Amino acid sequence: MSVQQSSMPFLPAAAALIIGILAVVNGASAQAADSASIAEGKEISADRNRGNCYSCHMVEGAEMTGNGGPPLMQMRLRFPDRDVLKAQIADPRNRNPNTVMPPYGAHGILTERELDLVTDYIHSL
């Protein structure tokens, strides 16, 4: 058996190790970006002139919350697909034409970037 043939079984293992290391490194930088977007989304959600989510929704740790909308908890379980949650925030009339929730995207209350940030925050709850 040649040296070239005997080293072949180790190539897939080495490649898997390298891919795993890269995934951890990329995951750490993505996590930092997520933390920043979650913090910014929380700020928008609490702002009475922009998101104003707390006026209708109970959120643990928030002050003076409302109870007209469902409590914002276990959101990843309720909305496993982040895009479905974003669509709900952007225009809840698509799922419930009689909703009292403002269509934050459709009426331009929030920009596309702000919608993404609020969605990141709400999805993290």
pLDDT, mean of residues 82-111: 95
pLDDT, mean of residues 66-83: 94
CATH superfamily of the domain spanning 11-124: Cytochrome c-like domain (1.10.760.10)
Distance separating alpha carbons of residues 92 and 51, to the nearest angstrom: 14
Distance separating alpha carbons of residues 48 and 57, to the nearest angstrom: 13
Closest by CA to 122, choosing from 45, 65, 36, is 45
Parse the chain into domains and list their residue ranges: 11-124
Q: How far is CA 30 from the centre of its chain?
A: 12
pLDDT in tens, 24-66: 444 443 444 488 999 999 999 999 888 899 999 999 988 888 8
Structure tokens at 97: 């034409």
Helices and strands, number each (H, E), in the chain: 5, 0
pTM score, whole prediction: 0.71
* Higher pLDDT pick, 11 / 71: 71
Q: What local confidence, expressed as pLDDT, does residue 51 receive?
A: 86
pLDDT confidence band for 118 (50 / 70 / 90)? very high
How many CB atoms neighbour CB 33 within 10 A?
10
